[in-house]
Amino acid sequence: MTAASKIDVTLATICAPSEDVVAREIEGDIVIVPLVAGIGDADDELFTLNDTGKAIWKQLDGERTLGDVAKVLAQEFEAPLAELQADVLGFAGEMTTRRILAARG
């Protein structure tokens, strides 16, 4: 997977897993395999998320804005909202750049 140019995301952006990836929760890990020409390469192109990434990923349903996701996580983990917003924006920026997430709004 080639890195695309940086995509700007804001708290108003809505993100969902891209149609061009297969993501499964396997033995506690979120395993993501991008599809290139209809083929997923589990040998060379397989990604996993850290704990923060996993928590954010599970909230990205294609309906909530990133701001809403940060609020949900801030409540769930009893953490400062500003900190969660920074994490969610960082995660979404990285994942949209990698084309693992699709963004709108």
Does the protein bind other proteins through residue 41 (CB under 8 A)?
A: yes
Of the candidate residues 4, 10, 12, 46, the single one contacting other proteins (CB under 8 A): 46
Closest CA to 90 of 46, 63, 50: 50
Q: How many residues bind other proteins (CB under 8 A)?
A: 31
Distance CA 33, CA 43 (A): 10
The kind and range of the H/E element at 19 are none
The kind and range of the H/E element at 6 are none
* Token pair listed for 85: 């917003």
Does the protein bind other proteins through residue 5 (CB under 8 A)?
A: no
Does the protein bind other proteins through residue 17 (CB under 8 A)?
A: no
Binding interface with other proteins (CB under 8 A) = 22-24, 26-27, 29, 31-33, 35, 38-44, 46-50, 52-53, 56, 90-91, 94-95, 98, 100
